Amino acid sequence: MHLSPQEAATTHRQTASATYWLEHAWLGTHVEPGVTVDVADGRITAVRTGTEAPPPGAVALRGLTLPGLANAHSHAFHRALRGTVQVGSGTFWTWREVMYNVADQLTPDSYYALARAVYAEMALAGITCVGEFHYLHHAPGGTRYDNPNAMGEALIAAAAAAGIRITLLDTAYLSAGFGTPPNHHQLRFSDGTAEEWAQRADALKAAGEHARIGAAIHSVRAVPADQLSTVADWTRARQAPLHVHLSEQTAENDACRDAHGCTPTRLLADHGALDRRTTAVHATHLTPEDIGLLGGAGTGVCMCPTTERDLADGIGPAAPLQSHGSPLSLGSDSHAVIDLLEEARAMELDERLRTRTRGHWTAAALLRAATADGHAALGWDDAGTIESGALADLTTIALDSVRTAGPLPRLGAETAVFAASAADVRHTVVGGRQIVRDGVHTLVPDVPTALAASIAAVRA
């Protein structure tokens, strides 16, 4: 059985006070040697530079310390697909059928076990906050659990047990496509109408300081146009984040034009779903007008390069989107790999392949997408920086591994983005509490075994 809301809150209680000495720290614009960070009640209370050695009683974090990484787009149960969906060829649509088969096996308890292991893997990769795009609401066939939010609360409890923060993006998923009723797999995703979705989402409990609640429109094909505003209004009333899969496939764009005579971006704009609290996920196949609409609204875009390349979706226009005013964040989505440093690196390298030019983002800009802008997309504006008042969430990357040894420490940002991997994460701190110490998870001692067991339990 998974944790109760009260147990989850207790598990994730913040550290009262601590002092950390950072051998090298990325402070947003540069790498600073010898930085001391004081923590109280889960927040940074002071940042002192010029400390050459750890003060008495301080915990030394040797390597390069960044703000904690934010994984802005996750489907935790997709982790069970790793390896399986890489056999042979196929398309996004054949991949989706395999995904449905895994979804059909999940219960609140098995989902808790799987998500706990996946979130522990994220902590080992330096991720301190996850945006869980959650649409697996009901039992197979659409039968309601006695607690209609049993699945969502299992995810919140799993994040607490793994020691990371979560924004549960409770997702409206009502249609198989532009008015077509849900298929037999999708019945457990659907609440029937957006109004019924809102009633269930209203009852969702965010137990513990580690959790916040947002919402998602699965896609314009999955929420009828006349119900998009219901979801958008729900988030607006709560000042909560709203996420949406957007133009991931050209087939979605074509079907939207056939149904509504416009692109998915225009449809969202016309129904009030684009503003600064909105994040479009993927946004791979956009028109120039779409880019202008997103940027003009200040709508963020979450790029998921490792999934987009795994599914052969294409390379999205990240650079034009940012230049038009869309903040960029990063997600591991289907978890083909869980490595935010790889997502950051891939965004730049994919753009180099698309344009055959280099240097679209600095390492600092890519780290900002993985930290401050990712947290902002998830409603955690008080995280993602190493400064007084911010949440005390830190990630330390080794500078002496076979991948990172050699460059000068002042080039630590470039080393992290263009050479390091999740395997180089040495320490992870969440709310002042050390969740990963010397590469070992302090709450889930054997993460590989937890992953293997939880995946075997849901294998179709």
The full 3-state SS of 35-68, as one line of letters, equals EEEEEECCEEEEEECCCCCCCCCCEEEEEEEEEC
Contact of 69 with 370, CB cutoff 8 Å? yes
Please give the Cα distance from 37 to 55 (Å, whole number).
10
> How far is CA 220 from each of CA 171, 217, 223, 350, rounded to the nearest angstrom?
12, 7, 5, 27
Return the residue matching tokens 């963020």: 300
Please give the Cα distance from 99 to 189 (Å, whole number).
13
CB environment 306-329: b (16+ within 10 A), e (fewer): bbbebbebbbbbbbbbbebbbbbb
Among 75, 210, 282, 427, which one carries the catalytic annotation? 282
Amino acid identity at 455: I
Residue 285 is among the residues annotated as catalytic for this protein: no
Residue 104 is among the residues annotated as catalytic for this protein: no
> How far is CA 454 from each of CA 146, 393, 406, rounded to the nearest angstrom?
24, 27, 39
Among 38, 170, 191, 333, which one carries the catalytic annotation? 333
DSSP secondary structure, 399-413, as one string: SSSTTT-SS-GGGHH
Give the residue numbers annotated as catalytic, written as ranges: 282, 333
